[in-house]
Structure 1
């Protein structure tokens, strides 16, 4: 049986303000990735070393075997032309790599659908939770439930007074940044350490 999650974002006003100061570099990298993704519509990303280098650097994808990178970018290419969801990507990445790569699956999904949150060690720490253990017999379902709960948590937070403050301050600090509120929250959480 899946355990119920009750995640909450608990950023204080000073945490938001100080995190916003540190978002600039990551935001520029993210915007570059999204711009290149759009420019490369109809062209394979798996063979574009510039895109892969930018993506790998931003999302800290390191020290994977070549076969892993090829499988990941082939899946990203295949997913660009279809409606995707987290569970499908998690399962497809597992089939290609024999690992449940929750973080990388969420990064692929969030790249193609910026309304989706990223599962990341820093985000998980800020939400006071962890990925299910490797030994969890229902690991796939547990990871999918966690991703859904993070989405719910983000939606709830962004509707709160503190969430509206975060969005308002983000837009004031970076008025030219055309990104989703979910990505604003992701970027701030990545800096709230």
Structure 2
């Protein structure tokens, strides 16, 4: 199993500089269950800003309608979310699919360019259909990495350092703490 070398002091310093992100994440997680995600524009602006969603109004309407539906029905899977958006938009929205899933189920990891870089992974494909087909096993690979990494002493030491630096966020899931540390760590060479 690949273990990313996180300079924990640099990552924590980066998170301290951007602690507003931790505060915003806390607000997202404490509010999404109690509102109508398809109608609450304040929540949508906060979520869009935090996760850098820069899509048109029709796309966002479809996104938040499905977000609300899945919040109230049952826990969706990454393949279901990804395929729903792919069939509707023609886009392979791995990152935004994972961000929705990780909000509904905080033990699931985020897929974004930073996480892929830190884990030395890449979505392969020259067209949308190939990328869609390759996305599903790649997300499974990310899930498998977290399952193997989280029980390690390295992961436990990273999580303990996060908890020491941010005791008010000890309740974040171990997956989310590692997500934040990967995000705040310097780019791999």
TM-score (norm 1): 0.88
Structure 1 match to 2:56: 65
| Distance in 2, Cα, partners of 1:111 & 1:9 | 25
Instruction: Write out per-residue CA displacement over residues 71-96 of structure 1, whole angstroms, 9 at most, x where no aligned residue.
Output: 11111011102121100010111122
- Contact kept, 8 Å, 1:133 with 1:139, in 2: the verdict is yes
The residue correspondences of 1:172-183 to structure 2 (distance < 5 A) are 172-177=164-169, 178-183=171-176
Partner of 2:168: helix, strand, or coil?
coil
- Contact kept, 8 Å, 1:76 with 1:108, in 2: the verdict is yes
- Contact kept, 8 Å, 1:20 with 1:173, in 2: the verdict is yes
In the alignment, structure 1 segments of 5+ residues that lack a partner are 1-6
- Pick the structure with more helix per residue: 2
In the alignment, structure 2 segments of 5+ residues that lack a partner are none
How far the C-alpha of 1:160 sits from its partner, in A, is: 1.3
How many residues get paired? 181
Structure 1 match to 2:21: 26
Partner of 1:100: helix, strand, or coil?
coil
- Contact kept, 8 Å, 1:106 with 1:119, in 2: the verdict is yes
* RMSD across aligned positions (CA): 1.5
| Distance in 1, Cα, partners of 2:50 & 2:148 | 27
TM-score (norm 2): 0.89
How far the C-alpha of 1:136 sits from its partner, in A, is: 6.7
